[in-house]
Structure 1
Amino acid sequence: MFRRAFRSILAHKARFLLPTLGVVLGVAFVVGSLLYGDAVKTSVARAQARAQADVAVEVQPSLLATPLGDDVVQQLHAVPGVAQARPLADGYAFLVGKDGAIVGRSERAGGVSYDPGRYPLSAGQAPTGRDQIALDEFTAERAGYQVGDQVRVIVNGAAHQVKVTGVFAAEDPRLAGGGTLVAFDLKTASAQFSPTRGGYTAVDLVAAPGVSQDAIAASVRATLPPTFDAETGASLNSAPSDDKLTDILLLFAAVALFVAIFLVANMFTMLAAARARENALLRAVGASRRYVLRSVLAEAAVLGVIATVLGYVLGIGAALLLNRGFSVVNGPDVPLQVFSAGALAAALGVGVGVTMIAAYVPARRAAATPPIAALRAGLAPTAKSLRRRNIIGVVVCLLGAAITAAGIETQELIYLGAPLLVLGLIVLTPWLSLGLTKLLRGPLTRLSGMRGTLAVENTRRNPRRTAATAATLMIGLSVCAAVTVGIASVAAKDAKETETGDKADISVTAIAFSELNSGTTADIAKVPGVSAVSPLTPVSIKLEEDKFLNLTAVDPGSAKDFLPLTVKEGSLDKLADGIAVSTATAQRYDLEVGSEVSGPIQVLGAADQAVSLPVVAIYDAPQSADQKALISVQRAPEAATPQTILVKAAPGQDPAALRKQIQQTLANPVLTVQTKAEAAEAASSEAESFLNILYALLSVSVLIGALGVVNTMTMSTLERVREIGLLRAVGLGRKQVGSVLRWESVIIAALGAGIGLIAGCALGAVGVLSQKGVSLVVPWTQLGVFVLMTVAIGILASLWPARTAARTPILTAIHTDTE
């Protein structure tokens, strides 16, 4: 049976080529995602393990406000089984490059206390004093710094001019994720990074020979109060379980494989029709239905194995590309293991599974061929009624539409209703194709004469085949349209709110994981042309054990002048004596004017005095303003630092010119200074970048869909060689034959694009309407690009079949047996 399958595949190489390529692309997507994800996790875990190879237990305060000083270090050193207690201090330190920008990823900009055991020097000497640092080798190379250079480092929002005294080797999870390491001496690091300023952020314990990590951890917990956490080295060095990037990549790979199922199913359906007489002969000489079924599934299995092997090889290349692409943004390449048992098992399951699932229904139809069919010279498959399929499609569509519509109020329902709606449309596509092609007949006949009529009738001849081919494009384009509408609508809302809603002319914001220096507000206020400034400081009130109310501390006197708030109840004039909350926050916490909010005020987990404050106002605010609740800045803890500073320009002062003056005054690359227009443009640019990433991920699905159109046109041309020869014999020229095939291809592609874009826009609209305060925006330009892309796919898909058909000699074509 498998020998026959191999012979069949070799005999029909051209027919199997494109479907196999579709599965290969899907398998490669899966393998590349898994290999790269495994490499990242392994690299991070290995870096963590090597960085803390001798650490048995790490002790940290459970609350940032808990002091961890020399007294605690002495207690830990006295714990039985501890050979060494090694204090350390780390936090965020941003290295400024020669171009004035931050080196590496800001969220992984590590500042550490230098430890010769963990960071062995490769050049220079260890840092001593506040004006000296050491850099890791990769950061020094990337930034172009060497021992003796004067550089700028930003810590706690303040820029410091320091000297590079050493370069060290390091394997650290932050470097694996594209970060940097800036090392200070222990005294300097503890003064900068410890919340208690002078203490430590953690203490690493080294075990004496023969003492287990668990035993030391238990002793530490018995020695120290519960305000300290003790974590074993094994727990610290375990591989990260959260792998969102791999999950996202696999989600798009699943979409591509779903499209590939239609491509393979269409190929086996057409192949079964072409080999109907062959299957009938097998039945006539004694082969059972089960044998025919198994023989077709054997072909699918062989095809799946071939696709798996090729897909795995291509997946290695995809993983290398991902590795190189992310290394440009993140940092050094991660070590890639080209063989992974998990990735190979997934590739086999996906490659063989997809082809066999796709081939099962065509195989059953092939097995049902009656033996008497072998006596017929030309066997045309009987077209089955679409009635049952249409009923099922309508029911699934209505159910999906109802659930999706309900998602406007309950957003989670969209994730259930949208797939059902798309599935229903796929089931209904044969019926929809008949109706839509009927509408196209008149315009195409007027535009292209008999060639247009022939093209329309050929697509109507087998609506199931047309539908299966169109579905390969429909799925990818529907997802593209949905995300385009959704992101365009949200981006337009954010840009509009930023440009028209904000009362401030300029905003100064610290990048992620940085902060504004305490003197930044005063520096901005001194800039000529500044009318007023208002710092916004994030704090929180701990209501219960795991329940917090996040607030923004503001100057009560300037809140109304700077923030785009519409007071619904109460008054902001009383903010000095209480808190104000947004309508959404009031609903979430069941608050109203007069309600008491009690608990300790916190900054990044560091608790301050407990308060009990009444709600004095409830307001509406734009979502982009992110002002969920307000409190007077006078009540913020001393450790609180602003995250944003709002600036108003003096009357007649150009905001753009003032922005440049502020930027020059601050000269701090961790601060983003923007006018309202620039902030709106940045929001749009961010949305566009996100869309481009999604398009790149969806391009595999669209490519497989295009292969589906090429495959259908190619196999359809091979089936109709004699028919095309007869058309040539009665006067249809080569160019006219090519024109007919091009129109067929464009019609099929247009069907898939039309249904997909309409469905995608509808789903995107529902998603937009489920978001409070977001208005629907239809990005006609992007949708127009999709339409042009579809026409191009249709034309390109017809080139090879049209060329083949046009070059076939008339007499050869007439005498061809299409079986």
Structure 2
Amino acid sequence: MRRATLRSLLAHKLRLALSAVAIVLGVAFVAGTMIFTDTLDRTFTALFQSTASDVGVTAEAGFDAGVDGTAGTRPVPAELAQRIRGVEGVAAAEGYVQAEGVYLLTADGQVLDTGGAPGIGASWITDPELSLGELTEGRAPERAGEVALDSGSAAEAGYTVGDRVTLLTPGPRVDATVVGVFTFGEDGGLAGASLTAFDLATAQDLTGAGDGYTGIQVLAADDVTDAELRDRVAAVVGDGYDVQTAQQQADEQSAALEEGLSFITVLLTAFAVIALFVGSFIILNTFSMLVAQRSRELALLRALGASRGQVTRSVLVEAAVLGVVGATLGLAGGFGIATGLRALFGTFGLTLDGDLVLSAGTVVWSYAVGVVVTLLAAWVPARRAARTPPVAAMREDHVAVERSLRRRTVVGAVLAAGAAVTLVGSAVAEDGGNAPALVGVGALALVLAAVALSPVAARPFARALGALLPRLAGTAGRLARDNAQRNPRRTAATASALMVGLTLVTGFGVLGASANASVDALVDDALRADYVVSTAVGQPFTPEVADRLRGLDEVAAVLQERFTQVQLDGQAVFAAAVDAATLDRGLTLEYLSGSSDGLAGRGVLVDETTAEARGWEVGDTVEAVSAGGQRAQLTVGGVYAANQAVGSVVVSLETDAALGGPALDRYVHVVLAEGTDAAAGRAAIESVVESYPVVSLKDRDEFAGEQKGQVDQVLLLINALLVLSVVIAVLGIVNTLAMSVLERTREIGLLRAVGMTRRQLRRTVRLEAVLISVYGSVLGLGLGLVLGVSLTRALAEQGITELVVPGGRLVGFLVLGALIGVVAAAWPARRAARMQVLDAIATA
């Protein structure tokens, strides 16, 4: 049996290779995802571990604010460092100041491009045992007007010791002299961020920390463990502070980062599953047809004494070899995908230094996934081969009995009913946060229902659509229609691979069109200002921009908008902080009760959904706790209709400052003075904005275009990944048609013998491919519409308020499906036409 299995593998190399491609692509996604995430973890874990002191002291957080960066922190008093120095076992202790929003300008006045990574400013720690940086040139900054730059930023901007540089900070612009260049941590990598070091006093002034610190770093004496010193320091500093060892600091930062970037792993893993799912149809088709073609051979083996188990194992061994080969090539392809992902995220500011990480877990999972998926797909054909009676299979006129579709119909109907219930449930779910998950479950059930039911619908669809073919292509059209109807299971399995890809492409196409329409509606309905000043990557910037804009004669009002994270009555929410005096001039809120005057004092405005969920009314008092632990009693001053421009909660800038929020703006909305010429007003505003290269000025249309551009970028990435599933589907159609041609070799010979031309034969194969691909496209478009509409409704609370079905794009997808059939049929059609007539007739 081993020799027979090996000979079978060698005899069907090309057919198996086409199936192996599906495994290669699926495993490549699995391996690429794991390699990339392992590299990501290695980069940041090494960074956190190399920068953590033996013991760190920071102000205790009021609640877990994650890695969003919008929450302020409470400063640590300077006197605490002196108390810590007196603790037994402390070799050194020094406070430090650190803040985001510090950007280095290049020699031509542009912001040094970090691709969206933060620009960090920090005080230089003078104790070399505690310092996070190691000077490679010059010295440390000692006074105002002096800075040190990280080596990566200095090299990229072309600065060396002695050069004059300009920095944008949360406070004023700073002109300083570069006195030192340093590397950060053990390998000098900052994962794309830039770091500028100041002397302590300057850093405190620029960040508004007063005489306090962001935290205190503590060095342990040689005879004291980190855990022992942590306990001693904690006893001295008392409540209200987090005291952690180096390992605890690194673990906490790594966990927060992992949670913040978990969407990367989820997204890539989802595409790996899709690729493998689509690929399984190809493998199933391949082995089904191989078994059918080898029925006499397998029956002869049974007649010679081979057991059912041996026949089954023979087919599964072929599948296992295919899985191992595919997994090996997929693992190599995973390096390519991981390399591409590293380059892609590097453009977003997430720079991963060092080599890619290949762990034992990645290798094990790659082979496990590749082999298991292949074996599962080959299991049904293997069992079918073993169950065929030897004598019946060896008969010249043996025809496999087509099994009933009743069971598939029942299973498909049950899945379809479950999908309908789940999708309807997502539309009426009171908790909007669960609606997308319900849509995901319902969509999966719907796709599985379509896979189960597609053989049932394949034959009537081919009959209905194929009715046109005899009129258009004569005998070739009639034969193409009959061939598509001959084996509805095979037709359905081939079409299902394309169906899955187009379902997702269509669904996200509807979601993207709806999101863009929602952005336009939001700008039209909520944005009252004439211009918006913001960064392209959502980074905060200095309020100095707003202060200078207020001084322009051409400007009537300036609305600053910030975002912060706060806990209200025990539940964390994102809040917009705005200038209460100009809120109604820059934005339009539909007040259901109260007004913007409710922001006075310690007022808070909430949207209708939040008010109903919490049972709040105007005049109620709620307790607010910031991430830094600051507390305040807020009074509900108004309730407004849902508005994505401000989110669910609005507080004043003064309240945000009292809660420790950073004094950094995200948006500045500008209203021109009445009677001001638009061109003159824009020129005046640009004269201010151009001094701050980190921000840009947009009118209403430009602002909407920028927001839609971000949506389009995400969808472009998703669709680029989904294209791979369509590529696999094309390979599936090629595979099925090639094997179908081989399966019908004698039939093709007879047709040629009775007068069919090569051109007619090629046309027959092409039309059959078009029927199959159009069937898959129609199913995919239908399911995609359901998915897109359901997703749009489920994300209504996240701002997708408009539903748009891009009809032109859907027609394009249908045409694309037909073209896929034509392209996929090119090689099988050519191969069929080149068969020698007599050899084909003589084939057994």
TM-score normalised to structure 1 length: 0.93
Equivalent positions of 1:184-583 (< 5 A) are 184-193=198-207, 196-238=209-251, 240=255, 241-242=258-259, 243-244=261-262, 245-330=264-349, 332-337=351-356, 339-410=358-429, 411=435, 412-509=437-534, 515-538=540-563, 543-545=568-570, 547=572, 550=575, 552-556=577-581, 558-572=582-596, 575-576=599-600, 578-583=603-608
Cα distance, 1:25–1:162 mapped onto 2, change above 3 Å: same
Map of 1:607 onto structure 2: 630
The answer to whether the 8 A contact 1:157-1:515 is kept is: no
| Rounded Cα–Cα distance in structure 2 between residues aligned with 1:396 and 1:237 | 46
The answer to whether the 8 A contact 1:568-1:618 is kept is: yes
| Rounded Cα–Cα distance in structure 1 between residues aligned with 2:584 and 2:356 | 58
Map of 1:684 onto structure 2: 708
The answer to whether the 8 A contact 2:191-2:353 is kept is: no
* Structure 1 residue 430 displacement after superposition: 0.9
The answer to whether the 8 A contact 1:45-1:237 is kept is: yes
* Structure 1 residue 423 displacement after superposition: 0.3
Cα distance, 1:635–1:309 mapped onto 2, change above 3 Å: closer
The answer to whether the 8 A contact 1:504-1:562 is kept is: yes
Q: Which deviates more, 459-468 or 243-252? A: 243-252
| Rounded Cα–Cα distance in structure 1 between residues aligned with 2:12 and 2:151 | 56
Q: Which deviates more, 12-21 or 134-143? A: 134-143
| Rounded Cα–Cα distance in structure 2 between residues aligned with 1:514 and 1:374 | 70
Map of 1:168 onto structure 2: 182
Equivalent position SS for 1:550: strand
The answer to whether the 8 A contact 1:564-1:621 is kept is: no
Cα distance, 1:535–1:382 mapped onto 2, change above 3 Å: same
Cα distance, 1:560–1:202 mapped onto 2, change above 3 Å: closer
| Rounded Cα–Cα distance in structure 1 between residues aligned with 2:628 and 2:197 | 25
For 1:435-472, what per-residue CA distance to the aligned partner results, in whole angstroms no more than 9, with x for missing partners?
A: 21112122222222222221111111100000000111
Q: Which deviates more, 105-114 or 800-809? A: 105-114
Equivalent position SS for 1:584: helix
Q: Which amino acid aligns with 1:155?
A: T
Q: Which deviates more, 688-697 or 784-793? A: 784-793
TM-score normalised to structure 2 length: 0.90
* Structure 1 residue 574 displacement after superposition: 5.4
Map of 2:67 onto structure 1: none
Equivalent position SS for 2:87: coil
1:39 and 2:49 aligned: no
| Rounded Cα–Cα distance in structure 1 between residues aligned with 2:836 and 2:317 | 36
1:620 and 2:641 aligned: yes
For 1:307-328, what per-residue CA distance to the aligned partner results, in whole angstroms no more than 9, with x for missing partners?
A: 1222212222322332333334
1:101 and 2:114 aligned: no
Cα distance, 1:324–1:576 mapped onto 2, change above 3 Å: closer
Map of 2:775 onto structure 1: 751
1:82 and 2:90 aligned: yes
For 1:673-694, what per-residue CA distance to the aligned partner results, in whole angstroms no more than 9, with x for missing partners?
A: 2211111111221111111000
Contiguous gaps of at least 5 residues in structure 2: 62-71, 430-434
Give aligned pairs, total: 808
Equivalent position SS for 1:407: helix
For 1:278-321, what per-residue CA distance to the aligned partner results, in whole angstroms no more than 9, with x for missing partners?
A: 11112212222111111111111111111122221222232233
Cα distance, 1:123–1:774 mapped onto 2, change above 3 Å: same
For 1:380-400, what per-residue CA distance to the aligned partner results, in whole angstroms no more than 9, with x for missing partners?
A: 211112222122212211221
Equivalent position SS for 2:306: coil
The answer to whether the 8 A contact 1:571-1:616 is kept is: yes
Map of 2:26 onto structure 1: 26
Cα distance, 1:551–1:449 mapped onto 2, change above 3 Å: same
| Rounded Cα–Cα distance in structure 2 between residues aligned with 1:612 and 1:318 | 50
Cα distance, 1:491–1:144 mapped onto 2, change above 3 Å: same
Equivalent position SS for 2:616: coil
1:72 and 2:50 aligned: no
1:662 and 2:685 aligned: yes
| Rounded Cα–Cα distance in structure 1 between residues aligned with 2:403 and 2:666 | 67
The answer to whether the 8 A contact 2:575-2:651 is kept is: no
| Rounded Cα–Cα distance in structure 1 between residues aligned with 2:134 and 2:4 | 64
From 642, 651, 673, the counterpart of 2:697: 673
Q: Which amino acid aligns with 1:649?
A: L
| Rounded Cα–Cα distance in structure 1 between residues aligned with 2:836 and 2:327 | 39
Percent identity over paired residues: 35
Map of 2:671 onto structure 1: 648
Q: Which amino acid aligns with 1:40?
A: L
Map of 2:50 onto structure 1: 50
Equivalent position SS for 1:237: helix
Q: Which amino acid aligns with 2:249?
A: L
From 128, 133, 140, the counterpart of 1:126: 140
Map of 1:797 onto structure 2: 824
The answer to whether the 8 A contact 1:601-1:637 is kept is: no
For 1:191-241, what per-residue CA distance to the aligned partner results, in whole angstroms no more than 9, with x for missing partners?
A: 333x53222212211111131111011111111121111111112234545
Map of 2:10 onto structure 1: 10
* Structure 1 residue 612 displacement after superposition: 5.0
The answer to whether the 8 A contact 1:495-1:683 is kept is: no
Map of 2:165 onto structure 1: 151
- RMSD of the TM alignment (CA)? 2.5
The answer to whether the 8 A contact 2:281-2:377 is kept is: yes
| Rounded Cα–Cα distance in structure 2 between residues aligned with 1:559 and 1:50 | 45
Q: Which amino acid aligns with 2:12?
A: H
Equivalent position SS for 2:600: helix
* Structure 1 residue 187 displacement after superposition: 2.6
Map of 2:123 onto structure 1: 113
Q: Which deviates more, 757-766 or 329-338? A: 329-338
Cα distance, 1:156–1:408 mapped onto 2, change above 3 Å: same
Equivalent position SS for 1:200: coil
For 1:716-748, what per-residue CA distance to the aligned partner results, in whole angstroms no more than 9, with x for missing partners?
A: 111112211222222221111111111111211
Equivalent position SS for 2:28: helix
| Rounded Cα–Cα distance in structure 2 between residues aligned with 1:542 and 1:248 | 30
Cα distance, 1:65–1:443 mapped onto 2, change above 3 Å: closer
Equivalent position SS for 1:36: helix
For 1:109-156, what per-residue CA distance to the aligned partner results, in whole angstroms no more than 9, with x for missing partners?
A: 222222454322222332232322222222222223333332221211
For 1:356-410, what per-residue CA distance to the aligned partner results, in whole angstroms no more than 9, with x for missing partners?
A: 0001111111111101124412432111122221222122112212221221112
Q: Which amino acid aligns with 1:661?
A: A
Q: Which deviates more, 35-44 or 782-791? A: 782-791
| Rounded Cα–Cα distance in structure 2 between residues aligned with 1:44 and 1:27 | 26
Equivalent position SS for 1:760: helix
Equivalent position SS for 2:803: coil
The answer to whether the 8 A contact 2:576-2:646 is kept is: no
Q: Which amino acid aligns with 1:5?
A: T
| Rounded Cα–Cα distance in structure 2 between residues aligned with 1:540 and 1:20 | 49
Map of 2:791 onto structure 1: 767
1:59 and 2:72 aligned: no
Q: Which amino acid aligns with 1:126?
A: A
For 1:553-585, what per-residue CA distance to the aligned partner results, in whole angstroms no more than 9, with x for missing partners?
A: 4324x4333321222234445553644322122
| Rounded Cα–Cα distance in structure 2 between residues aligned with 1:202 and 1:414 | 44
Q: Which amino acid aligns with 1:446?
A: R
The answer to whether the 8 A contact 1:323-1:334 is kept is: no
| Rounded Cα–Cα distance in structure 1 between residues aligned with 2:808 and 2:679 | 30
Contiguous gaps of at least 5 residues in structure 1: none
The answer to whether the 8 A contact 1:499-1:677 is kept is: no
Cα distance, 1:511–1:308 mapped onto 2, change above 3 Å: closer
The answer to whether the 8 A contact 2:97-2:209 is kept is: no
| Rounded Cα–Cα distance in structure 2 between residues aligned with 1:356 and 1:537 | 55
Q: Which amino acid aligns with 1:364?
A: R
